[in-house]
Amino acid sequence: MAKIIDGKQISSAMLDTVAAEVAALKAQNIEPCLAVILVGEDPASQVYVRNKQRACERVGIRSVSHILPVDTTQQELLDLIGSLNADPSVHGILCQLPLPAHLDAQQLLLAIAPEKDVDAFHPVNVGKITIGNAKLLPCTPAGVMEMLRYEGISPAGKHCVVLGRSNIVGKPMALLLLAADGTVTVCHSKTPDLAAETRRADILVSAVGKRGLITADMVKPGAVVIDVSINRGEDGKLCGDADFEAVSRVASAVTPVPGGVGPMTIAMLMRNTVTAAKAQNGID
């Protein structure tokens, strides 16, 4: 059976480290602050925001939430982001997605100052990731890399296959694996023989959002399987893209859903907020 990569345990260790960094900054009269913008009443988004607030409390980061009605206008949001950009006491700004349909998410994300973009969605930060000198990394892919480091799994010289090409996970995941000297293949809906590609993977990362996509016969014996997706099974329970029980009998290590990558995403958000606070105060 595969080793279960415990995201809860790894993220807890990371949060302890972040808390120590926050305490050190506070000793220098610097209080890291994360501002979160939530528009509307999407239940999943509300849960995510609460989880982020709890993580901030745990590590000592000041959390400021702007909970806005669903009919908030684009200009009102742009004005809010502008005021947060100009506030030196705010180090990170996060606009919770998805936004209501009448809002232009891309314009709003572009409005966030790159140095306060703790999601690392701004083109400036994406460009820095591409050339390998980014301080702020996209939270979910960076969380995956942290899990691999924690488990002593190096991508160097390995064939890494990423399923999905989204701007949030797939593309930056491929870039981070490439930066770690992995040989990277990105698969997507137009890939003609997905199973042939996945069977070549030493490290397989799936971020498609399709329950049951990865079956045991699609996994190379001894491969590491990182399941990023969160879906709901027929029984209503959370699950990933992989058939967890079957894949666990073939892989050497696998992440569960829930309790795998999810907790790492929030831990990396906390780390990014501290990184941003340091950079904005001239601390390396």
Contact in structure between 251 and 219 (CB atoms under 8 Å)? yes
Residues 87-117 have pLDDT tens digits of 999 999 999 999 999 999 999 999 999 999 9
The band of 273, judged by pLDDT with boundaries at 50, 70 and 90, is: very high
**pLDDT score for 163:** 98
Amino acid at the residue 161: V
Q: Does position 191 have pLDDT exceeding 90, yes or no?
A: yes
**pLDDT above 90 coverage of the chain, percent:** 94
Q: Does position 157 have pLDDT exceeding 90, yes or no?
A: yes
d(CA 90, CA 104): 23
The band of 227, judged by pLDDT with boundaries at 50, 70 and 90, is: very high
Q: Is 26 a catalytic residue?
A: no
Locate the domains of the chain by residue range. Answer: 29-113, 139-262
**pLDDT score for 188:** 96
**pLDDT score for 114:** 98
Q: Is 52 a catalytic residue?
A: yes
Q: Terminus-to-terminus CA distance in the chain, angstroms?
A: 42
202, HSE (Cβ side, Cα atoms, 13 Å)? 13
Q: Write down the CATH superfamily of domain 29-113.
A: Leucine Dehydrogenase, chain A, domain 1 (3.40.50.10860)
The band of 44, judged by pLDDT with boundaries at 50, 70 and 90, is: confident
29-113 shares its CATH topology with 139-262: yes
Active site residue: 16, 28, 74, 96, which one? Answer: 96
Active site residue: 52, 158, 171, 220, which one? Answer: 52
DSSP string covering 87-132: -TT--EEEEPSSPPTTS-HHHHHHHS-GGGBTT--SHHHHHHHHHT
Q: Is 96 a catalytic residue?
A: yes
Fold of 139-262: Rossmann fold (3.40.50)
Active site residue: 116, 117, 119, 202, which one? Answer: 119
Contact in structure between 36 and 63 (CB atoms under 8 Å)? yes
The band of 203, judged by pLDDT with boundaries at 50, 70 and 90, is: very high
Q: Quick one: average pLDDT of 10-34?
A: 98
Q: How many residues does the chain have?
A: 284
